[in-house]
Amino acid sequence: MLQGLGGVGKTSVAVSVAHRLQRETDRVWWIGAQDASRCTGGLTALARQLGVPDEEIAVGRLADQLWRRLSALADPWLLVVDNADDARLLDGPGRLALGTGLVRPHRSPRGLVLVTSRDGRPGTWGGHAVLHRLTPLGDGHGADVLLDLAGPSAGSREEAAELARRLGGLPLALHTVGRYLAAVGQRPARFRDAGETATFAEFRASLDDGGAFPHPGTATALAGIWRMSLDLLTERGHRCVRPLLEVLANFADAPVPLILADPAVLGEDEAFEGVSGAEIWAALQALAGLGLVDLAAANGVDTVALHPLVRDAHGSPGRYALNARLLDEAAESDETGVPEDVERWPLWSALTPHTVHALTFESGSDDNELFLVTWTAAMLAARSLYAQGQLSQAGKVLEELVSRLGGALGEDHPNTILCRHNLARILDDQGDYDQARTIFEDILATQRDTLGEHHQNTLITRNNLALVLHSQGDYDQARTIFEDILATQRDTLGEHHQNTLVT
């Protein structure tokens, strides 16, 4: 268990451990735990890879079957659970601290579970976890980092050590400053602008002189460092780096799939007017070059990731409307396709935390304005979660949508009814038959009044209600409804229509 504050290098240490172990085994797995969707989705994918049948996962035995198989492995293996800052996400059906959660002790003689988290409370993880606290680097090691990145032309080792001390030894800050000084140092002095810092001493002096940096290692100090980096990139001709970083920072604390940086949608915004797709890609590469973002592929999905501190410092509510449009366009694009399509699950897993996070956007004038742009993306994400067997997560999203849509559009609006219908299906699958039946009966009463007895949506609701009645053991009533639906469908749709065959 690696514990420490943001930017101290927990993930970097975990990556190093993973790379070392990959020399002797290919059984190295990495799961992000920033949100329930990615955590459960990653564990589900691992369980399937280890041979756990889908039917075992569907009935809620994911953790039991996964850890039984991991415990039986004789070869070396490593499971990294990264960024588990909210340890409650690892409880699952049990308790993490008691060893019955989604992550738990194992009996494999050569297996290792490595968790990274800001939460270092022993009671959170239980007596079976061994905690290793990572602390900021000392002046000497901090100087090594700065010299490795910026080179000796930036100053002496003593000056590097003084700057490292001023930065509080935080690896993220050292990394960002070192890259910045390296970028400035690549230009001859005559081509540097006034006030542009190129040495360790100059950078430390700029921190000491600026009132915006009250304490080394704080988000405020880092924001000032990143502002210098953005100034540098802007001077180099990357005119959209600031608004682009602000848009990316508005998304959830999870890797952002590049489909959410669509040049066509960005180009409709004033801040990106006249900016081409090539310029946006160049800006992303430039941001990555200075360590402000990371470009990577996860499960075949190209993403851009921001450190949580970078995200916190650059989020801009004024760009929420643009984020909402990006999400809406991405969710209904040909690339994302149908959420139930297995081939699209990796992309939907990457999109889901951002669609859910967007439900928190507020416009400042009309609380429903941005919600009505993003609700479709969230509903499609819930469908993907449902298809992947993540019923609890899908249910939580739909409960939020039902509540918000009911307030914005009304309980009987077709969009509200659609989400209520999907929620009732999940409740039925989870065994909450009484609540599912109540919702279906309420929807059915509305549809009979507004659509008529023989409308296809009415018949679908009756069909699902009959399934709930069957689950409750009311076979006679269920059979009566099915027979009545079937007679109507034969008359209106024909004997071989899909809906007739389903009934």
- pLDDT for position 139: 92
- pLDDT on residue 250: 95
- Asked if residues 271 and 243 have their Cβ atoms less than 8 Å apart, the reply is yes
pLDDT of residue 329: 96
Q: Report yes or no: 279 and 337 within 8 Å, Cβ to Cβ.
A: no
Enter the tokens of residue 298. 């996860």
pLDDT at residue number 62: 87
> Going by C-beta distance under 8 Å and a sequence separation of 6 or more, which residues neighbour residue 460?
499
- Does one domain contain both 167 and 225? yes
pTM of the full structure:
0.70
Residues 488 and 406 in one domain: yes
Would residue 360 count as lying in a domain? no
Domain shared by 249 and 345, yes or no: yes
Q: How many residues make up the chain in this entry?
A: 503
Residue 465 lies in a domain: yes
In terms of domains, do 400 and 496 share one?
yes
The answer to whether residue 363 sits within a structural domain is no
Q: Are residues 322 and 403 in the same domain?
A: no
Q: Are residues 226 and 256 in the same domain?
A: no
Instruction: Give the start-end residues of each E strand in 200-312.
Output: 256-257, 294-298, 301-305
Q: Are residues 447 and 480 in the same domain?
A: yes
Q: What is the pLDDT of residue 212?
A: 34
471 in a structural domain:
yes
Domain boundary among 236, 255, 273: 236
User: Where does a domain end: 116, 133, 150?
Assistant: 133
- The CATH number of the domain holding residue 445 is 1.25.40.10
Same structural domain, 452 and 403 = yes
* H or E stretch covering 111: strand 111-117
Residue 72 lies in a domain: yes
Based on the fold, state whether residues 257 and 381 are members of the same structural domain. Answer: yes
Q: Which domain holds residue 476?
A: 389-503
Residues 301 and 402 in one domain: no
366 in a structural domain: no
Q: Give which of 412, 399, 395 is closest to 457, Cα–Cα.
A: 412
Q: Is residue 365 part of a domain?
A: no
In degrees and rounded to multiples of 5, residue 297 shows phi and psi of: -115, 135
Does residue 245 sit in the same domain as residue 380? yes
Domains in the chain, number: 4
Amino acid at 342: V
pLDDT at 224: 67
Q: Are residues 165 and 120 in the same domain?
A: no
> Is 47 a member of any domain?
yes
Q: Which two tokens stand for residue 26?
A: 């290919």
If 0-12 CB within 10 Å is exposed, 13-18 middle and 19+ buried, where does residue 192 land? middle
What is the pLDDT at residue 215? 35
* Per-residue pLDDT tens listing for the chain (503 residues): 998 877 788 999 999 999 999 988 889 999 999 888 888 889 999 999 999 988 888 767 888 999 999 999 989 999 999 988 888 889 887 899 899 888 999 989 899 999 998 888 788 898 889 999 888 899 999 999 999 999 999 999 999 999 998 887 889 889 888 988 998 888 877 777 766 788 999 888 877 765 333 333 345 556 666 777 788 788 878 999 999 999 999 999 889 999 999 999 999 999 999 999 999 999 999 888 777 788 988 788 999 998 776 787 788 999 999 999 999 999 999 999 999 999 999 999 999 999 999 999 987 667 688 999 999 999 999 999 999 888 989 999 999 999 999 999 999 999 999 999 999 999 999 999 999 999 999 999 999 999 999 999 999 999 999 999 999 999 999 999 999 999 999 999 999 999 999 99
Provide the residue type at 201 as one letter. Answer: A
Q: What is the pLDDT, as a whole number, of residue 218?
A: 42
> Of the residues 236, 258, 286, which one is the last residue of a structural domain?
236
CA distance 279 to 288: 14
Q: Give whole-number Cα distances, 410 to 300, 329, 364, in Å.
A: 40, 25, 22
Provide the CA 237 distance to its chain's centre, in angstroms.
Answer: 31
